[in-house]
Structure 1
Amino acid sequence: MGRVYWAPVKSLWYLAHVSIAIVAGYLTFSLSSFLVFIGSTAITLCLGHSLGMHRRLIHNAYECPLWLEYIFVHLGILVGMAGPLGMMHQHDLRDWAQRQTDCHPYLRHGQGFWKDGWWQLHCDLVLEQPPEFRAEPRVAGDRVLIFMERTWMWQQFPWAVLLFWLGGLPWVVWGISARIAVSVTGHWLVGYFAHNRGERDWHVEGAAVQGFNIPAAAYLTMGESWHNNHHAYPGSALLGLHENQPDPGWWVLTRLHDLGLVWSIRLPENLPQRSELKALPGAEGKETSHRTFRGGVGRPDA
């Protein structure tokens, strides 16, 4: 049981950037500002949200130098959803709740489309008996990450100054507000559909919520829309497990591995077996990616 309530800071942050994106975006549109929007969105979603926040900070699916982790996490903050500790807490809470036999509608995207949008983009949840989560010591005691957590909204400011100096107000509008508005809204949309409808190869017995794969969003989400795969193997750095499942985040990760910047990449074969995980009919016949199961990059000693 829990109570959903309007979160004014969260709501006004989102509404401010959406309003700026719609009004000022229309008035300041240019080819260069649109290219800034495309480039900055791709970089922050891929290196920041997917590789930094999700696959590294939350799931420890690979190892990298600390300086590179800081860069990736900073880029993840720029997506505009939360700081690093806030992202970890919200993700861990949802993961825990979705694995239970029952799950609050807020944490499983269990309401109708418009109500869920209001809840996720403008509200927070207070559970009557919340679980206790503690960040691992290396994260909880990291002064850089703590600073990022305390100042995550202000992390946009230096980039806004740089964009204004390089391209004026249009670059700020499209490189900051339009990017945040689209990224945050897109994150909710993918989350909503990835927990309600789509394709499935795996079933987690006893879990209140099953993830769904959304093939149409694979490139836009940098591979994050293979959510049924992620529910099956949450610790895997590879999300697109089959040959016909593009995973741009994985492609970047393997290039970084080739450069010696990433190592100990975890894949399904490196993870403990789960008795509750069952392959659905037809899944076992699909061709798995040769990059996944035939050695090399995914080995713990790679």
Structure 2
Amino acid sequence: MHRRLIHNAYECPLWLEYLFVHFGVLVGMAGPLGMMHQHDLRDWAQRQPDCHPYLRHGEGLWKDGWWQLHCDLALCEPPEFDPEPRVANDRVYAFMERTWMWQQLPWAVLLFWVGGLPWVVWGISARIAVSVTGHWLVGYFAHNRGQRDWHVEGAAVQGFNIPAAAYLTMGESWHNNHHAYPGSALLGLYENQPDPGWWVLNRLRDLGLVWSIRLPEDLPSRPELSALTATDCTERRRHLPLSRSPNRSSHHENGRQ
């Protein structure tokens, strides 16, 4: 959902996009427009020379956890949220936004039918608690400590790679790579960076369900981006297997990026 709805890093049939977004909504944080809004606000704020500590995970672990899990940030003059028309005018997304909490209900009924109340507790309540808390925890470390190959000049916040969470997050924990190339469908850029989300996209591409996959070399040049290692990203990717270089698109990041 993140790589498609938020960053348009690949193309797929609309029904598949709806399915991915539905799974994203089931995490329990917000509806599709709500998640886009929060993501775009954080992205915008983190690229500024200064950033509110709420939007950069800039406080200690426990205080940041309380803020992120129990509080909202009310800005006096927030930036305008203007989603692209194909999303803003989509009736399915409008329905998902209105009913995002209720979308747990069909799954709760199915789980109750299969295994009774314990399955509902573990499959809905516990899952949401673990997912939302885990999303915050990975986000906290991915903006405070870890490995970095890239530096974005002038940005108040730098992303960090969290290798230990790569499988758990489907590759989303390669966050320094994501800050460097937000429009790339590939987040684990190097051989030693497993990216299960990328593997899924490759298999779907083989089935003809995903196309126009964008990689870092397909994105506009960023003069503010610099490599922190002696060997740059392009050189290190030479040894990637061919399956990591699918058909590419010439499209660039949309205006929200």
How would you bin the TM-score normalised by the shorter chain?
A: over 0.9
Task: Establish whether residue 94 from structure 1 lines up as the match of residue 49 from structure 2.
Answer: no
- Structure 2: which 5+ runs fail to align? 251-257
Give the letter for the 1:208 counterpart: A
Q: Compute the displacement of 1:284 (Å).
A: 2.2
Q: Which runs of 4+ in 1 moved over 3 A?
A: 289-296
Aligned to 2:255: none
> Whole-Å Cα distance in 2 between the matches of residues 103 and 295 of structure 1?
35
How big is each residue's C-alpha offset from its partner over 1:11-64, in whole Å with a ceiling of 9 and x where there is no partner?
A: xxxxxxxxxxxxxxxxxxxxxxxxxxxxxxxxxxxxxxxxx2x10000000000
> Whole-Å Cα distance in 1 between the matches of residues 243 and 105 of structure 2?
45
Aligned to 2:253: none
TM-score, with structure 1 as normaliser: 0.79
Aligned to 2:194: 246
Aligned to 1:62: 10
Task: Establish whether residue 209 from structure 1 lines up as the match of residue 162 from structure 2.
Answer: no
Aligned to 1:16: none
Aligned to 1:188: 136
Aligned to 2:237: 288
Task: Establish whether residue 78 from structure 1 lines up as the match of residue 78 from structure 2.
Answer: no
SS in 2 for 1:288: helix
SS in 2 for 1:176: helix
Matched residue count: 249
> Whole-Å Cα distance in 1 between the matches of residues 141 and 194 of structure 2?
18
> Whole-Å Cα distance in 1 between the matches of residues 23 and 11 of structure 2?
17
Q: Aligned pair in 2 of structure 1 residues 294, 164: CA closer, same or farther (>3 Å)?
A: closer
Aligned sequence identity (%): 82
The answer to whether the 8 Å contact 1:241/1:289 transfers is no
Aligned to 1:297: 246
> Whole-Å Cα distance in 2 between the matches of residues 96 and 174 of structure 1?
36
Q: Aligned pair in 2 of structure 1 residues 137, 300: CA closer, same or farther (>3 Å)?
A: same
SS in 2 for 1:105: coil
How big is each residue's C-alpha offset from its partner over 1:248-286, in whole Å with a ceiling of 9 and x where there is no partner?
A: 000001000000000000110100010000000345287
For residues 133-152 of structure 1, the aligned pairs below 5 Å read 133-152=81-100
Q: Compute the displacement of 1:288 (Å).
A: 2.1
Aligned to 1:118: 66
**Two-structure CA RMSD over aligned residues (Å):** 1.7
Give the letter for the 2:151 counterpart: H
Q: Aligned pair in 2 of structure 1 residues 275, 209: CA closer, same or farther (>3 Å)?
A: same
Aligned to 1:10: none
The answer to whether the 8 Å contact 1:256/1:262 transfers is yes
SS in 2 for 1:73: helix
The answer to whether the 8 Å contact 1:291/1:297 transfers is no
SS in 2 for 1:108: coil
- Structure 1: which 5+ runs fail to align? 1-51
Higher helix proportion: 1
Task: Establish whether residue 266 from structure 1 lines up as the match of residue 214 from structure 2.
Answer: yes
The answer to whether the 8 Å contact 2:191/2:240 transfers is no
Q: Aligned pair in 2 of structure 1 residues 200, 238: CA closer, same or farther (>3 Å)?
A: same
TM-score, with structure 2 as normaliser: 0.93
Give the letter for the 1:133 counterpart: F
Q: Aligned pair in 2 of structure 1 residues 92, 193: CA closer, same or farther (>3 Å)?
A: same
Q: Compute the displacement of 1:170 (Å).
A: 1.4
Q: Compute the displacement of 1:295 (Å).
A: 8.1
Give the letter for the 1:216 counterpart: A
How big is each residue's C-alpha offset from its partner over 1:175-221, in whole Å with a ceiling of 9 and x where there is no partner?
A: 11111111100000000000000000000000000000000110001
Aligned to 2:118: 170
The answer to whether the 8 Å contact 2:190/2:237 transfers is yes
Q: Compute the displacement of 1:290 (Å).
A: 4.7
SS in 2 for 1:273: coil
